[in-house]
Amino acid sequence: MTENLPVSWEEQMKADAKAQLDAERPALAFMSLKSGVMSISDTPVPGNEMDCIVVAAISENTWYKDRYDPNVRSNPACYALGEGKAENLVPYKESEDVQATSCGVCEKFEWGSDPNGGRGKACKERRRLALIPADGASEMVILSIPPTSLKAWSNHVSRVVALTGMSTAAVVTRIKVVPDAKNQFMVTFDVVANVPEHALPTLMDKKAEALAIMLQPFPVIEEEEAKPSKKRKF
């Protein structure tokens, strides 16, 4: 019989860590790409580009019931976050209106399901990246890549693996926002240099820190925050 055995200290520490993280909800700064302008905390990034180290990346699937309104802060009605392929993710139980048992079988994740027409999906597929600016000028930031730039990100990952045999944390990446006639803007990725080998263990610690934050459920929005406003922080 093992049911009455005391919980090991490792398991208790892990449980305590999760409880503390849920209670404190640490936040990372978000990089905005609104209107094709790269900015952090409303401050434009010089040259619309940044050299950084991408220490972590997750898939982000989000479905909103209502049409997007930049003046109203809102959470997706159904969403999924995870390191795996987007179609293999499972909606978070914290979602307001879960649409399916998994994203891969959800009608709103099918091509052509966008209620606005076209070939797009009603549930938008993005990638969240955790970035450390190479110049050390700021703390880690989160960038959400729009669906139209996912192919560019996938190609960059393949290129880094081919060059180094390691993840994107092994190189300095130049992320740039450039005009695009069809999609208003696109996000591009280029390898600038290799990261010194002695720095890699520290970056792996940063990855664990970033994932713990990025995989948290969307925070609850209070009624007062959801009211229309003339200016939004994000």
pLDDT above 70 as % of the chain: 82
Can you give the pLDDT at residue 224? Answer: 47
- Please report whether residue 161 resides in a domain: yes
pLDDT digits (tens, 9 = 90+) for 39-61: 988 889 999 999 999 999 999 99
Can you give the pLDDT at residue 74? Answer: 85
Total domains in the fold of the chain:
1
- Please report whether residue 204 resides in a domain: yes
pTM for the structure as a whole: 0.78
- Please report whether residue 224 resides in a domain: no
- Please report whether residue 13 resides in a domain: no
- Please report whether residue 57 resides in a domain: yes
Residue 139 exposed, middle or buried by CB count within 10 Å (0-12, 13-18, 19+): exposed
Domain that holds residue 196: 27-214
- Please report whether residue 5 resides in a domain: no
- Please report whether residue 225 resides in a domain: no
- Please report whether residue 150 resides in a domain: yes
Can you give the pLDDT at residue 22? Answer: 57
Q: Which residue has the higher pLDDT, 81 or 232?
A: 81
Q: Say how far apart CA 61 and CA 91 lie, in whole Å.
A: 8
